[in-house]
Amino acid sequence: MDEITEKQGWHLLAVVVLAGLSFIILQTDEGFSIGCFWGIETSVWFWSAIFIAIFHQLFVWAAWRFQLSTEWVTKKFQASGFTAYLIIFFILIFSRLMFVVFTAVSNRGSITIQGGIKWPLVILFSVLAIWLFYSVIRYFGLKRAAGADHFFSEYRNLPLVKQGIFKYSDNGMYVYGFLIFWLIAILFESKAALLLAGFNHVYIWVHYYCTELPDMKRMYG
């Protein structure tokens, strides 16, 4: 059980702190809450996006740790277990992105970003995000990116990827992948979406240090 829960106390503390800070920031300026989309208020979209982000990372933690410690998924469901995991994983990450979009649309125009700042950032973040996703598909593979090494030992024998954007950053998915959240917030000039971008970008590093890094030490030494 200790292997499954390793550093999850820190994970829980980080969730409480990040959600608490988000709540406090929301109270400081009504601009974070103005607007609605499809008849649903911005605050509902915002907290739904927070919930999905937390659920996504808890799902990954549970799937990875139980599989790594007991091989429960592959023993019970064989290869179809990993397929089911992949489907849920990508549905959640797509939902995570879309609820930031919904929040940004609902809260659009709540902040003004000058064109001289906005468009260079849009171009830069777009280029980096596209380069990352190309590098993942071309050199890394979506299965491996989703944590296939937790399910199949052969993935642990693959060399470290040093092509594409990974030539410049071993943690490219965390550094550059979440720029797409910032891109959405900037495009719609949404305060609430900017806060969500910050939450998601910090929270994915919580996942790295509390879940992925300890797992990597167990799998790779």
pLDDT tens-place string over residues 89-128? 999 999 999 999 999 999 999 999 998 999 999 999 999 9
Give the angle 139-123-109 at the CA atoms, nearest 5°: 125
Range of the domain at 216: 2-220
- pLDDT band at residue 146 using 50, 70 and 90 as cut-offs: very high
Question: Mean pLDDT, the chain, as a whole number?
Answer: 93
Q: Which of these ranges, 52-56, 63-67, 167-171, 214-218, has the smallest mean pLDDT? A: 167-171
Specify the DSSP class assigned to residue 209.
I
d(CA 203, CA 116): 29
Whose CA is closest to 212, among 154, 147, 155, 163?
A: 147
pLDDT at 3 over 80: yes
The pLDDT tens digits of the residues spanning 160-200 come to: 888 989 888 888 889 999 999 999 999 999 999 999 999 99
pLDDT at 78 over 80: no
Cα atoms in the 13 Å half-sphere on the side-chain side of 79: 1
- pLDDT band at residue 35 using 50, 70 and 90 as cut-offs: very high
Number of domains in the chain: 1
Is the separation of the CB atoms in 33 and 103 below 8 Å?
Answer: no
pLDDT at 61 over 90: yes
